[in-house]
Amino acid sequence: MPQLTALDAQFLHFETATNVANIAGLAILDGDLHRADLQALLEQRLPYVPALRRKLAPVPFGLDHPYWMQEDDLDLDYHVREIGLPPPGDERQLAEQVSRLHARRLDRRRPLWEIYLVHGLSGGRMGLYTKIHHAAVDGVGGADVLAALLDTGPRPAPPPEAEPERDSPPPGQAEMLARGLARLAGNPAHAVRFASMAVPYLDEIPVVSSLPGARFVSGLARTLAGARQVPDLPTLPAPRTPFSGPVSEHRRFAYVSLPLDELKRVRKAFGVTVNDVVMTVCAGALRRWLAAHGGVPAQPLVAGVPFSLRDAGAEGPGNQVTIMTAPLAVHVADPAERLQHVRQAMRRLKDRFSPASARWLREFSESMPAALMGLASRSAFALLGQAAPPINLIVSNVPGPQFPLYVCGARLLHHYPVSVISDVSGGVNITAFSYDGSLDIGVITDRAMVPDAWELAGHLRDALSELRNAEANVPQ
């Protein structure tokens, strides 16, 4: 039975009355879907989706990270729920329901997921909101879980012929204690090994890189080790914005779809990547929002950009992800110039960023005693949220399939990510998912900081229009 890694466990420690570690998606389906049909599909496929049939098995006294244990009596009546929208059943009503559902913590006594069928959406459509705890999956793993429930045609595929693998049971209480004590004894040696790995990468880690001498020490360590010379990363202090600081317990959600071919035309005209265009669209939208709510800062915003550490084809539970920090040129008025700023910044980051820095951070987490990690994590989050948040928001762009998918015969029209905001990352998260010719963007905000998430979502469409207009002035 697998045990949570230190990074997985941090998403449990992260949660408070206001910080919730749910990652989710809102699917818009063409046609109505019956709860019984979805439950029947899940009955067939859950044995092949380990993340959805496991629950936490805590270690006594919190001496070590919890284990996952298989739930043999999964209650689908609990996990699969349905609600209805009152007339007229519009997009804002659907988003309001998602806002409320997303703010609720999952029950840790059960497998950490829930699905809601939302009936009554206008145009004969329905919503399907699926949430799962970040301790169980990262963004890539979450997409894999969703894919296991989808089909490439209207008729559901038969279940695999192979027998599903069963997890071995977790250790007993006495063995958990013994393993926890053994791990505790090995923590000092682990910490020494971590320190030797960490020094060359101090300048790549948010917060740490801003400490006095961090850049000098890491540069000296690379020189002494004979490593190749790399350009210095820019110092990125996050300016204060209306969405900086601790978040409340309330959320707002909105969504928008942009034609993927329009982003590709901008990409081709300016010789950039689609991701550069997405980041610039976000920068343009944020600039418009800030101009109407307190003013645009004279420096870039700092975005946390999730970066997967999974090797191609790699599978497995848990989190294999880190965060890069990227400047968002909201201070640049001209959209074409803004795009070039983003292009240069992203190229510099990709040339400079090394997964090794993320791996040493994981080593650091593993070197901490589990009993202290919860307190340390909560204290660090509280301090950074109050004093100097290292980033202004999270921006993510996840590639998806470019062909239609189906759930129990209903076609998936759009899939909007619903992600995480926190005291440290700020009160805005913009996550995009490309699917079947569309870029589906979910905007989750703190209600007290950004009460109208639809305003920000609308600015995303405006920002793309700006780039399309600028594209017309590019010499062919």
Q: Return the biggest CA–CA distance within the chain.
A: 72
Cα(452)–Cα(257) distance, integer angstroms: 17
Active site residues: 134
DSSP E strand stretches across 331-427: 393-398, 406-407, 410-418
Please spell the DSSP secondary structure of 409-468, one letter per residue.
TEEEEEEEEE---BTTTBSEEEEEEEETTEEEEEEEEETTT-S-HHHHHHHHHHHHHHHH
**233 burial type by CB count under 10 A (0-12 exposed, 13-18 middle, 19+ buried):** middle
C-alpha span between 308 and 313 (Å, rounded): 12
State which amino acid sits at residue 185.
A
| Sign (positive or negative) of CA dihedral 34, 37, 41, 46 | positive
Are 415 and 25 spatial neighbours (Cβ–Cβ below 8 Å)? Answer: yes
Cα angle 44-408-100, degrees, rounded to a multiple of 5: 95
Q: Which residue has the tokens 């965060």?
A: 323
Q: Could you tell me if 367 and 190 are in contact, meaning their C-beta atoms sit under 8 angstroms apart?
A: yes
For the beta carbon of residue 181, count every other beta carbon within 10 angstroms. Answer: 12
CA-based nearest residue to 395, from 470, 334, 316, 456: 456
Strands in 125-133's sheet, in edge-to-edge order, are 80-84, 113-121, 125-133, 22-30, 410-418, 406-407
| Residue located via tokens 């993510």 | 396
Place of tokens 């609308």: 458
Give the span between the Cα atoms of 351 and 346, in whole angstroms.
9
260 token code pair: 């993927």
